[in-house]
Structure 1
Amino acid sequence: MEYLISFLETYGYAAMFIAMVLENANIPIPSEIVLGFSGYLIAQGVFEMNMTMIVATAAGVVGSILSYWMGEHGGRPLLKRYGKYIFFNEHKFEMAEKMFNKYGGAAVFFGRLLPGIRTFISFPAGIARYPMGRFVIWTLLGTIPWTILLVWLGVKLGEHWQDLIEYNHEFLVIMIAVFAVIALFFGIRYYRNKKKKVATTSSEKQDTQND
């Protein structure tokens, strides 16, 4: 961890971009450290908030595309052959694979919010050759909230930013709860709009028949 922090302090945004690309390409670099410490640097006036968000989000998408490409062109044989060099976790990959096979593109979005799975969810998408355009959109939508949360917590925690590492599961529960509420809100809104549209269409048909 000390080497990673020193790397970020020395090379700034470039180091953050490289670290996040590698993390999203299945290299075991904890995003809690990279983004949490970046938030701390924002609090210290070293990093700037908007630039940090842009660089981290772009790196997340680039790294995910690399993981997708490895899945598309190498598949499981690639992981079995070289996985030991990146401390490959078979259990987490299987979880990501089952999640993608069951939920498709939506799994790319929600998988991005789950520690452990988030770095592997792109690989099965590549194996399945899920449409690249949709993959990038889902990845971007899932990367933004994760990035905002960890950077913001790093800013708020300040010198105690390392608590992100110790309590990352608690933060995960909070994130899931928040997105569950958001999903429920938009689900109810969508259902009401659809119901209203159906009612309007039925009313127009009835008026046409009466005429």
Structure 2
Amino acid sequence: MQDILYYIHTYGLIVLFLIVVGEYCVPAMPTGIVMPAAGIIAGQAHKGIIKVMLISLIAGLVGSIILYLLGYFVGSTLLEKLKIKHPKIEDKLEKTEKILEKHSFLGIFICRLIPIIRTYVSLICGTVKVNFLKFIIFSIPGIFCWNFTGIVVGYFFGGKIRF
């Protein structure tokens, strides 16, 4: 977390934007660290919690769109390669697909709130060609809820951490 705090504090909110885009594109990113770190920066570096929230929401949406488009154009091939290379994620992918099948568009929102699955939902939605506008509409509240929770935790409880 110290590294993330350092880079955001030193180089500004553009680094936060890039880290959050990466977090939404790459399942291996430490999701439990990025948002609280953003909240700490908002509180300690006087960046403004509203500004940090807005940047994280836009960045999360950009990252989700990138993964959706990747799924849209090369999703089936990519998913098969992922399953072969990382057999453990097959369960996560199947779980994501089941949530989407059971809850339709509300499933997008639900998946946004579940660690690891929240990243794969964009790829799967692109792969099965979910309506893009509905994908965006149902992603925004889920991204907001996830980011808001982490940022608020960092904002209010991160006062003891120094960078």
Q: Name the TM-score class by shorter chain.
A: 0.7 to 0.9
Is 2:144 the partner of 1:144?
yes
The share of aligned pairs that are identical, in percent, is 28
**1:114 matched residue in structure 2:** 114
Q: Give the counterpart letter for 1:155 in structure 2.
A: Y
The separation in 1 between residues aligned to 2:92 and 2:12, in whole angstroms, is: 31
- Alignment CA distance shift 1:10-1:90 (3 Å): farther
Is 2:57 the partner of 1:57?
yes
**1:198 matched residue in structure 2:** none
Offset of residue 32 of structure 1: 2.2
- 1:19-30 aligned within 5 A: 19-30=19-30
The separation in 2 between residues aligned to 1:61 and 1:147, in whole angstroms, is: 11
State the Cα deviation string for residues 123-147 of structure 1 (Å, max 9, x = none). Answer: 1111111111111010111111111
The separation in 2 between residues aligned to 1:2 and 1:83, in whole angstroms, is: 33
The separation in 1 between residues aligned to 2:84 and 2:29, in whole angstroms, is: 15
Is 2:89 the partner of 1:89?
yes
- Name stretches of at least 5 consecutive residues in structure 1 with no aligned partner: 162-211
CA contact (8 A) 1:100 1:124 kept: no
The separation in 2 between residues aligned to 1:86 and 1:6, in whole angstroms, is: 32
Is 2:148 the partner of 1:154?
no
**2:131 matched residue in structure 1:** 131
CA RMSD of aligned residues (A): 2.4
The separation in 2 between residues aligned to 1:46 and 1:130, in whole angstroms, is: 39
- 1:63-78 aligned within 5 A: 63-78=63-78
- Alignment CA distance shift 1:50-1:59 (3 Å): same
The separation in 2 between residues aligned to 1:14 and 1:88, in whole angstroms, is: 34
**Mean alpha-carbon deviation: is it higher for 46-55 or for 85-94?**
85-94
Higher relative contact order (CA 8 A, sep 6+): 2
TM-score by length of 1: 0.68
The separation in 2 between residues aligned to 1:64 and 1:124, in whole angstroms, is: 11
The number of residues matched between the two structures is 161
